[in-house]
Amino acid sequence: MSDFPTPYGVKLMVKYQPAHIEVVRLVVVEGLRGQGRGTRAMRALQKLGRTIRLTAVPERRKKNALHRFYQRLGFHPIQTNSLGEVEFSWQPKKS
């Protein structure tokens, strides 16, 4: 598992699996949200050209915003667990 520090207000933890990259954690510091930092971090992962999977665990009252964030980046919901957490997947475009 790789844990990237937050020099730009973003904490990103990923686990490299044989078939995909699993985003374990993506957190943007509260006062820096809405500036595109999370989007840039996810776009950098997408440039690796591998399938990306993650489970969205929203803060209270921010569930819809979190789901819209991932859907804007091209992620698709796969399933919802008993806690209401949604698993998302992104597939690179085939050439």
> Would residue 95 count as lying in a domain?
no
Cα-to-chain-centroid distance, residue 35: 16
CA distance 85 to 48: 26
Residue-range definition of the domain harbouring residue 68: 2-90
The CATH number that applies at residue 14 is 3.40.630.30
> Sorting pLDDT into bands at 50, 70 and 90, what band is 6?
low
The count of structural domains within the chain is 1
Using pLDDT thresholds of 50, 70 and 90, give the confidence band for residue 4: low
pLDDT at residue 3 in the model:
57
Average pLDDT over residues 83-95: 89
User: What are the backbone angles phi and psi of residue 49, rounded to the nearest 5°?
Assistant: 75, 25
What phi, psi does 42 have (nearest 5°)?
Answer: -70, -40
Mean residue pLDDT of the chain comes to: 88
Question: What mean pLDDT is predicted for residues 16-33?
Answer: 91
Positive or negative, the Cα torsion across 64, 72, 91, 6? Answer: negative
Q: For residue 22, is it within any domain?
A: yes
**Residue 19: closest CA among 69, 89, 67:** 89
> What pLDDT score does 9 carry?
85
